[in-house]
Amino acid sequence: MPQMPSREKLLAWIDQVSFAVVEMNLYLDTHPEDEDALAFFREKVELRKEALKQYAEQYGPLTIDTANDRMSRSFEWVMQPWPWEVNRKGGC
């Protein structure tokens, strides 16, 4: 995602690549020799990492591994809206 997407678009992208990562992980559990699937999995893992990093830089961390306490003196990020509190079209 080269441009700066909105919060909603970035969350939707994270949902999409996270789904692909989970599904490919399940597939690879039963097809560990599938090199194409493994390459696809690795590509989606990198896209997910980058999307989570971008989200954390713009809106605060979604996962503990994207939390960077050096960015602030406290855990102010917990005061941000939770992902389910963001008004998302087509959301829950």
Q: Is the pLDDT of residue 2 over 60?
A: no
Residue 88: inside a domain: no
Asked if the structure places residue 48 within a domain, the reply is yes
Whole-number Å distance between alpha carbons of 9 and 12: 5
User: Does residue 13 form part of some domain?
Assistant: no
**89/64: higher pLDDT:** 64
Q: Is residue 1 part of a domain?
A: no
Rounded Cα–Cα distance for residues 35 and 81 (Å): 40
Would you state the pLDDT for residue 24?
A: 97
The total of structural domains in the chain comes to 1
11 found inside a domain = no
Task: State which residues form the domain around 30.
Answer: 21-83
For CA atoms 5, 12, 69, 77, the dihedral sign is positive
pLDDT at position 75 is 59
Q: What's the pLDDT at 5?
A: 81
Please state the rounded mean pLDDT for residues 49-54: 93
Of the pLDDT bands very low, low, confident and very high (cuts 50, 70, 90), residue 38 is very high
Q: Which of 47-51, 54-58, 65-69 has the highest mean pLDDT?
A: 47-51
In a domain, 90, yes or no: no
Is 14 contained in some domain? Answer: no
Inside any domain, residue 72: yes
